[in-house]
Structure 1
């Protein structure tokens, strides 16, 4: 994977993304502490509302963000979104009411919705056809790794500086990342070969075209539907693990942390493995294996002790990233360069829309079937996987031209 660092533009872009990911960890750790300070035992309601606002912003705005990424200089978009997020998190230390948290988190994730698809579409643009799979895998590995260690780092900073002061460190991380992107040479703008004149309604047509291409391509449609399968299982893990560990197994916060760290570690290992495999395996094969792995890992979980649960969640983490990571490279494989931004944006929106379905389902299963919620979630996932597999269309290769 590390050969992609030979590209100095990607290396700087990757460094900026890693710094901003650490900033995200600071955001959510600080937010959890401030939410508890303001709402006490109702802090879970505050955090769940904030997460819902986050996903809603992604679903509604990511398709538009992808269209803009195809039209404008992506470097400008990424710098502006970093500076805007810096300003917003700089206001979080001063909140005194929960409604202020909701407004700031919504604003923060509006700009996040514009940054992430732009960044994803920029990786194949700056690396080219030889290195983009490894570059995407490296970026995903870092995302997963910081998901495991980032909260620990953020917690240490919060313990040293205080809950509210952590947001100033957070703002500094976005500033540094924005400066790194600003120093990238030249523009990161895609020159369209379509030659379409400016016309009324074109923006809406471009937004629709991202979703149309996503569902029209057999491989992308298959991968996206498998992400629905993965989200069913993933939501079960994220929502119901704490109740199982602390309620059923009668263990504490440390044990819960180890179980979730196992899940994140599995996702990290999958990213490394996929980066090493490269193009040796069809991406749709990886997606199928991943979907099977994460759903099968759920089935015996209600009978597991701590160590077995950690092993199952490790496998589930591997499965989830075997579904999610190939989708990014499939888009780069099968969509022409000047159209990739809008398709990445559409994919970002749809993949998060699945979680708006999966989170309530997981909560309902956990509330109504607390002794078999993982088993039922696994059965639902397997049922959906079977439907997707039976209705899968023949996947044909699509040659894509990369810019020189």
Structure 2
């Protein structure tokens, strides 16, 4: 897997991702302490609102940002967004009112909503070979999982010698280092885009997404992933410290078990995907999520929770990691930023539903019924995915064009006896998926 790091451009981009993630992780810890400093017992309400603002920014800003991303060189755009995020981190220690947290979080997450899809859409151009790209996806998943484990540990170590305000300094350094690494390489130019209206550019990614059967199936799988991960993220502390009466240290180990399962899955995926189709791997991972949630209703000890969380981590990464391969396969190069932005927005819309659902149901009904409800929701999502994403999903599809005039360049290139066959992607010449 590490052989892909021999590519200098990708190596620098990967390191940029890692240091930015560590900075974000430090900011997450510091933000929780800042909220408690300002709001005391109402810190949970403040953080809950901040999380909702984050999701709203992700859902609303990503497609709009993607619509304008092709107007600037990728490297310049990524660097400016890193500098915006660094500027917000500089301002956070000086916050004295809760509303200021909300405003800065919206700016920070809006910059992330523009940065992440643009960054993700750049990697397929840097690594055009599919096997290399698969390795890059697995490394990216490992980076996210390691960040979830390493950042809290680093924050704890730093807090033993400095105040929590100093953690924001680590965030600033992370974003500045990310910007420096991006500057240090030349990125492939984005494919030239057709001039379009604002509405067309803003909605193009979502329209391509929803017109592609495999991506409609991916959207359903996103809901299954969000159901399981919301249960883990929202209710681990409740299970460990309220139900089992254990410590914060035990909560950290439970979250580490989830991250460990995800990392193991990411390590195994490049070899696995050489032998089985993406659909089979992703549906298998989703089945693990469904079974794990339904079995979670029976968990009554910490010893049972740890292997369950490990299994959910395995299933989570099995579904999440290959999604980039589907997006790459489903768009022309010039439409990739819009499609990655659509995935970013729609997947976070699923979390916007399941985060409050996991919290509200856990508080009102108890954790066992919550496991059951989210398990049923995930099961329905997986069933929908099998119906939306056909088992037979070839790249090349035979079709014909009744809507193009004779002599159109596309027909001249491909037409044979009224029908032709090539890798089928939703674009200007192919606005609808062939039937049958």
TM-score range for the pair, normalised by the shorter chain length: over 0.9
Q: Does 1:339 align with 2:340?
A: no
Alignment partner, residue 324 of structure 1: 320
Q: Among residues 376, 379, 395, which one is paired with 2:393 in the alignment?
A: 395
- Structure with the bigger percentage of helix: 1
Contact 1:336–1:400 under 8 Å retained in 2: no
Aligned partners of 2:145 and 2:424: how far apart in 1?
Answer: 29
Aligned partners of 1:293 and 1:170: how far apart in 2?
Answer: 35
Compare 274-283 and 57-66 and name the one that shifted more. 274-283
Q: How far 1:302 sits from its partner (Å)?
A: 3.3
TM-score, structure 2 length as denominator?
0.87
- For residues 11-30 of structure 1, what are the structure 2 equivalents within 5 Å? 11-30=11-30
Q: How far 1:145 sits from its partner (Å)?
A: 1.2
Aligned partners of 1:91 and 1:269: how far apart in 2?
Answer: 38
Aligned partners of 1:92 and 1:390: how far apart in 2?
Answer: 47
Alignment partner, residue 252 of structure 1: 247
Q: Does 1:242 align with 2:237?
A: yes
Alignment partner, residue 5 of structure 2: 5
Aligned partners of 2:372 and 2:222: how far apart in 1?
Answer: 19
Contact 1:71–1:190 under 8 Å retained in 2: no
Aligned partners of 1:129 and 1:384: how far apart in 2?
Answer: 31
TM-score, structure 1 length as denominator?
0.93
Higher RCO (C-alpha under 8 Å, 6+ residues apart) = 1
Aligned partners of 2:298 and 2:257: how far apart in 1?
Answer: 18
1:198-251 CA deviation, whole Å, 9 max, x = no partner?
Answer: 45xx23202222111112112122112111122112212221222222222222
Q: Does 1:161 align with 2:162?
A: yes
Q: How far 1:71 sits from its partner (Å)?
A: 4.0
Contact 1:210–1:345 under 8 Å retained in 2: yes
Aligned partners of 1:182 and 1:206: how far apart in 2?
Answer: 27
What number of residue pairs does the alignment pair up?
395
Q: Which runs of 5+ in 1 are unaligned?
A: none
Q: Does 1:269 align with 2:267?
A: no
Q: Among residues 344, 350, 359, which one is paired with 1:348 in the alignment?
A: 344
Distance 1:129 1:239, change over 3 A: same
1:272-294 CA deviation, whole Å, 9 max, x = no partner?
Answer: 11133343221111110111111
Aligned partners of 1:127 and 1:144: how far apart in 2?
Answer: 22
Alignment partner, residue 78 of structure 1: 78
Q: How far 1:343 sits from its partner (Å)?
A: 0.2
Higher CA-based Rg: 2
Q: Which runs of 5+ in 2 are unaligned?
A: 397-422, 426-436
RMSD: 1.8
